[in-house]
């Protein structure tokens, strides 16, 4: 199975260089937000058929929100969302555009083999 994570700051159209696993790996989970200064993130996981290096088709997309207090090294990670209407609402137009272009350019044959319900997630509304 192929998989790739894109971690966006909540309002930015391009992802960070770090993945969700890299940024949140050694972070404690917060119990409440009192006294925290939180940066907001959106983590997008794309899965597909094929090898680790090159997908043959994109099959699933999952999105979750996260918040991190960098100074205190604590975070909130929400559950992954996989329903189309939730994903469409969570992704900003620039993020959809970035993801669509990245997937098309990274593996054009996989993009062409992908079912419409996955490709439609990245269409502007």
pLDDT tens for 91-122 read: 999 999 999 999 999 999 999 999 999 999 99
CB 7, CB 20: distance < 8 Å: yes
Instruction: Tell me how far apart the terminal alpha carbons of the chain are, to the nearest angstrom.
Output: 30
Residue 29 has pLDDT above 90, yes or no: no
Percent of the chain with pLDDT over 70: 100
User: What is the pLDDT at residue 13?
Assistant: 97
Q: Report pLDDT for 12.
A: 96
pLDDT of residue 84: 92
Phi-psi category of residue 18: left, alpha or beta, with phi > 0 → left and psi -120 to 50 → alpha: beta
- With a cut of 90, say whether residue 57 has pLDDT above it: yes
* All structural domains of the chain with their residue ranges: 2-122
Q: Provide the pLDDT for residue 42.
A: 95
Could you tell me which residue, 106 or 31, shows the higher pLDDT?
A: 106
What proportion of the chain, given as a percentage, has pLDDT over 90?
67
Q: d(Cα 24, Cα 41) in Å, to the nearest integer? A: 11
User: Which residues are CB-contacts of 85 (< 8 A; sequence separation ≥ 6)?
Assistant: none
CB atoms closer than 10 angstroms to residue 57: 18
What integer is the mean pLDDT of 52-76?
91
**Which residue from 99, 15, 114, 98 is spatially nearest to 55, judged by alpha carbons?**
114
> Would you place residue 88 in the very low, low, confident or very high pLDDT band (cuts 50, 70, 90)?
very high
Instruction: Go through 9-43 and write b for each residue having 16 or more CB atoms within 10 A of its CB, e for each that does not.
Output: eeeeeebeeebbeebbeebeebeeeeeeebeebbb
Residue 51 pLDDT: 85
């Amino acid at each position: 199975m192929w998989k790739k994570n894109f971690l966006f700051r909540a309002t930015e159209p391009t992802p960070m260089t770090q993945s969700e696993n890299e940024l949140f790996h050694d972070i404690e989970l917060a119990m409440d937000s009192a006294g925290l200064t939180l940066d907001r993130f959106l983590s997008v996981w794309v899965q597909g058929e094929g090898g680790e290096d090159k997908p043959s088709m994109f099959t699933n997309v999952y999105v979750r929100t996260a918040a991190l207090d960098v100074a205190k090294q604590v975070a909130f990670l929400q559950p992954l969302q996989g329903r189309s209407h939730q994903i469409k609402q969570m992704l900003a137009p620039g993020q959809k555009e970035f993801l669509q272009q990245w997937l098309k350019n990274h593996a054009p044959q996989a993009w062409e083999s992908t079912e419409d319900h996955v490709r439609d997630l990245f269409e502007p509304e």
